[in-house]
Structure 1
Amino acid sequence: MNTPPPTTDEAVPITCADGQRLHGHFIARSGGPDGGLPVLISPATGVRQHFYLRFARWLATQGHDVLVFDYRGIGLSLHGRLKDCRATLADWGQQDQVAALDWLLAHTGAAQAVIVGHSAGGQMIGLLPNHHRVARLVGISASTGWFKAMRPGFRLKANFGMRLVLPLGTRLTGYGTTALLGLGENLPAGVALQWSRWCARGGYATNAVRHRPEQDFHAQVRTPVTVLHAEDDDIANAATVADLLRTLPAAPRQAHCLRPRDHGLRQLGHLDWFRQSHQSVWPLMAQAVRGETLAVAGAPSGAAARAHP
């Protein structure tokens, strides 16, 4: 892939409805055809926005204005001590993604945008009251992370780490000690504990709005959803992806499982999609952003076949 021309990253503040201030970076389109929709990159749990900047800059060269941001309690959006942060995982969807989407649409004047959601970033559209302003959702490694749908060996590891070590570490330190488990940045306690419960129960964000129908938009979402996951991903596998897609019954939805070797890669896993070393998959991600038919080797994953209404 050719080196893209230089782009300018503009640091921007984003204010949520509850007054919480987030920090993001806006990258204006610097090439490609006219008419590309703006793109909101919503990070994975415990991953800072800077991890996505190279991909965001490349996407800007493909004709898209791009916004990437940190959720409350993460990276540049952490104000004060982590142990004092009262953020929850539900806040990341109901407040932070909502505000980031509104900011991007207001700044660009577009009626709709595309969300590229990495892992948790692609799992919470059912919490967004402005979901109708999302033209497409492209979920990268997006699933419910449901422990029971993981292979036995990894399931034991996930249960031990997320249901025993993480709650104990949170009680001792006042924050989620996810870095100790190799799960990205340490998290606000409320985020870490809610994350653990949602993965244990399945259905992910539906757990946030159970018995709260006025806040539950899962059945109303009609945004086309495309999930890309990797053959070597222990978290987002065919079963956990299917568990996510079933929560959006009215949305056109499909999932594709990629084999790393088909893209000249030894591994792809859960996180590597956005690394510059793995840019061979970026054109496929851009196709999904544009809503094009994907040229993926093999058939769509089983999740797609089971999820279509």
Structure 2
Amino acid sequence: MSDLESITITCADGVHLHGHFAPASGGAPGLPVLLSPATGVKQHFYLRFVSWLAAQGHDVLVFDYRGIGLSRHGHLKHNKATLAEWGQLDQVAALDWLLQRTGRDQVLMLGHSAGGQMIGLLPNHRRVARLVGVSASTGWFRGMRLSFRLKARLGLRCLVPLGTLVKGYGPTSAVGLGEDLPAGVARQWGQWCAAGGYATNAIRGKPEQDFHAEVRTPITVLYAEDDDIATPPTVADLLRTFPSTQKQAMRVKPASHGLKAIGHIDWFRASHQALWPMIASSLRGQG
């Protein structure tokens, strides 16, 4: 992965994000790709995939949201970030950075879970030619299988909020929900999953910040049959928030790709490279 360049992105409010850029290194040339991570997942998790995708002909940018990984500055309890800011500021700035760096008019967005759920918050959404959301859904509790719904609600609506009061940040790692989060991010995550509609909860009563109905970017969601979070109801709940665009959802069976399991996270692991061509094809509108 020596082809990766460490870069800095400056957001509109002056916050600096850190990421990695991989220039296209082979394959048929394609549009640049912005890879937006899942909640609580560091960019380093995606670097092998980033190098692979660059070898397929794409310039690729991956980054950490404010308060996560290399974009975490100081003690987490002092970080005031919100989940809405990950879309309204961080994704916006990352998209602009990639457009400027590559000189292209549009890019492709590859969003893992939350990374593929917030395009309705981006004023520059028209610069996204296609969105592929991997494991993307609203995470709506009522759309989950009952056993997992109870666990998710207990974690995000009880244990994490209590831990936040004690520690000053969201101790999500203690309940198996990725990296610890800024308190504001953890709080909104639980609220949005409880309400359904995900990012639409951030802009209620703020029509000037709501771009969901304006989005014309074609959207493809890939989700696994064994995913406890992205289920048929939660994926449908996400897609309904974009009424004006072409959209499709593809439910993937692990066995069809020689895998025992995929779940919510494993798509980008080296052990699951059998899935990577499908992701690349979807980005190019061939899925």
2:78 is aligned with 1:99 = no
2:258 is aligned with 1:264 = yes
- Report the Cα distance in structure 2 between the residues aligned to 1:264 and 1:229, rounded to whole angstroms: 16
1:198-217 equivalence runs, <5 A? 198-217=192-211
2:32 is aligned with 1:12 = no
1:214 CA drift (Å): 0.1
1:130-141 equivalence runs, <5 A? 130-141=124-135
Q: Any conservation in 2 of the 1:176–1:192 contact (CA below 8 Å)?
A: yes
- Report the Cα distance in structure 2 between the residues aligned to 1:252 and 1:281, rounded to whole angstroms: 23
Structure 2 residue identity aligned to 1:19: G
DSSP 3-state at the match of 2:165: helix
Question: What's 2:19 paired with?
Answer: 24
1:137 CA drift (Å): 0.3
DSSP 3-state at the match of 1:187: coil
TM-score by length of 1: 0.92
- Report the Cα distance in structure 2 between the residues aligned to 1:169 and 1:42, rounded to whole angstroms: 27
1:33 CA drift (Å): 1.2
- Report the Cα distance in structure 2 between the residues aligned to 1:286 and 1:189, rounded to whole angstroms: 35
Write the deviation string for residues 57-104 of structure 1: whole angstroms up to 9, x where unpaired.
000000000000000000000011100000000000000000000000
1:33-52 equivalence runs, <5 A? 33-34=28-29, 36-52=30-46
Write the deviation string for residues 272-307 of structure 1: whole angstroms up to 9, x where unpaired.
000000000000000011111x2xxxxxxxxxxxxx
Structure 2 residue identity aligned to 1:130: N
2:77 is aligned with 1:86 = no
Question: What's 1:65 paired with?
Answer: 59
- Report the Cα distance in structure 1 between the residues aligned to 2:173 and 2:179, rounded to whole angstroms: 5
Structure 2 residue identity aligned to 1:21: H
Question: What's 1:163 paired with?
Answer: 157
1:220-299 equivalence runs, <5 A? 220-292=214-286, 294=287
Write the deviation string for residues 217-261 of structure 1: whole angstroms up to 9, x where unpaired.
000000000000000001001100000000000010000000000
2:116 is aligned with 1:122 = yes
1:7 CA drift (Å): 5.0
DSSP 3-state at the match of 2:248: strand
| Superposed structure 1 runs of 4+ greater than 3 Å apart | none
TM-score by length of 2: 0.99
- Report the Cα distance in structure 1 between the residues aligned to 2:81 and 2:113, rounded to whole angstroms: 19
- Report the Cα distance in structure 1 between the residues aligned to 2:271 and 2:145, rounded to whole angstroms: 28
Among candidates 172, 182, 186, match of residue 188 of structure 1: 182
Q: Any conservation in 2 of the 1:123–1:139 contact (CA below 8 Å)?
A: yes
Question: What's 1:302 paired with?
Answer: none
DSSP 3-state at the match of 1:176: coil
Write the deviation string for residues 176-200 of structure 1: whole angstroms up to 9, x where unpaired.
0000011110000000000000000
Aligned-pair Cα RMSD in Å: 0.6
Among candidates 48, 51, 60, match of residue 54 of structure 1: 48
- Report the Cα distance in structure 2 between the residues aligned to 1:222 and 1:88, rounded to whole angstroms: 26
- Report the Cα distance in structure 2 between the residues aligned to 1:33 and 1:270, rounded to whole angstroms: 29
- Report the Cα distance in structure 1 between the residues aligned to 2:151 and 2:82, rounded to whole angstroms: 24
- Report the Cα distance in structure 1 between the residues aligned to 2:41 and 2:279, rounded to whole angstroms: 19
1:149-160 equivalence runs, <5 A? 149-160=143-154
Q: Any conservation in 2 of the 1:43–1:118 contact (CA below 8 Å)?
A: yes
